[in-house]
Amino acid sequence: MIGNPVDYDKKFKDNNFPIFPPKFDAELKRYINLLPGKEVLDLGIGQGRNSIPLAVSGFNVTGVDYSTKCLDICKNTCDKLNLIQGDIRTFPIDKNKYDLILSRCVLHFFHKNDSYQIINNIKNNLKTNGLVHIHVFSLEDPRYKKHANSPNFEVLDNNILHNVSEDTYVSFFTKEEVLDLFSDFKTIYISQEYSLDQRGDTPCYAGVIKYIGQKI
């Protein structure tokens, strides 16, 4: 493992902790019928954006997150989730248990060596015909240039930025890189989007790559 985990509990004070209500991603909803069974693992479940709608509709969901505040929000919103506090870089994924593994807006918060290792762990342990669903920052995300020009970050190879004082990393991906990482999977859905995120107090542009793949 390289560097510290991004710690939401320390990063956000109680009165500005971001609240992200459950909302089933349209692209995941569209392909949910492809799942061979009902077992779901959410790596970096946050506040249960997709996992709460999945649990409510009868899926058995296990969610892992580093943030106890996020896990408390999940627990208080839905009593059907199996929640585990931990760092997803060391979380052992049970082999051939899960029909769907989600890691949405999490895998960019690492040095790519760690992101790639988590992806390999997902790929090796997902059930055959199971789906993986990820969102990662694209290289077009304006935070890349903003951080790269900031004295707080050092710019490393392969579009990786190192926050020196916190010893955390943030990585930016290309669509080709995501397709290459899942070259042995069947691509069900991939998109690269650039949009204005209006959820917080300060609207900001976000660049994201969304991928759904099936283990064959």
Ligand X SMILES: C[S@@+](CC[C@H](N)C(=O)[O-])C[C@H]1O[C@@H](n2cnc3c(N)ncnc32)[C@H](O)[C@@H]1O
Residues at the interface with ligand X (CB under 6 A): 5-6, 8, 20, 44-46, 49, 64-67, 70, 87-89, 104-106, 109
Pairing status of strand 60-65 against strand 168-171: unpaired
Q: Quote the least distance from Cβ 169 to ligand X, whole Å.
A: 10
Cα distance between residue 157 and residue 150, in whole Å: 17
How far apart are the C-alpha atoms of 50 and 187, rounded to whole Å? 20
Helix, strand or coil, per DSSP, at residue 208: strand
Length of the chain: 216
Contact 126, 215 (CB under 8 A): yes
Nearer to ligand X, 84 or 129 (CB): 84
Shortest CB 216 distance to ligand X, Å:
25
* Minimum distance of ligand X from residue 88's CB (angstroms): 4
Cα–Cα distance, 28 to 35 (Å, whole number): 11
Nearer to ligand X, 127 or 133 (CB): 133
CA 187 to chain centre: 18
In this complex, which beta carbon is closest to ligand X, that of residue 70 or of residue 81?
70
**Minimum distance, C-beta of residue 214 to ligand X, in the bound complex (Å):** 20
Q: Give min distance, CB of 4 to ligand X, in A.
A: 9
Closest chain position to ligand X (CB): 46
The residue among 44 and 130 lying less far from ligand X, judged by its C-beta, is 44
Nearest residue (CB) to ligand X, 55 versus 70: 70
* Residue whose CB is less far from ligand X, 44 or 53: 44
Q: Which two tokens stand for residue 39?
A: 């077992």
- Beta carbon of residue 173, minimum distance to ligand X (angstroms, whole number): 15
Give the amino acid at 130: G
Name the strands in the sheet holding 100-104, side by side, starting at the edge strand that comes first in the sequence.
82-85, 60-65, 39-43, 100-104, 131-137, 204-215, 185-197
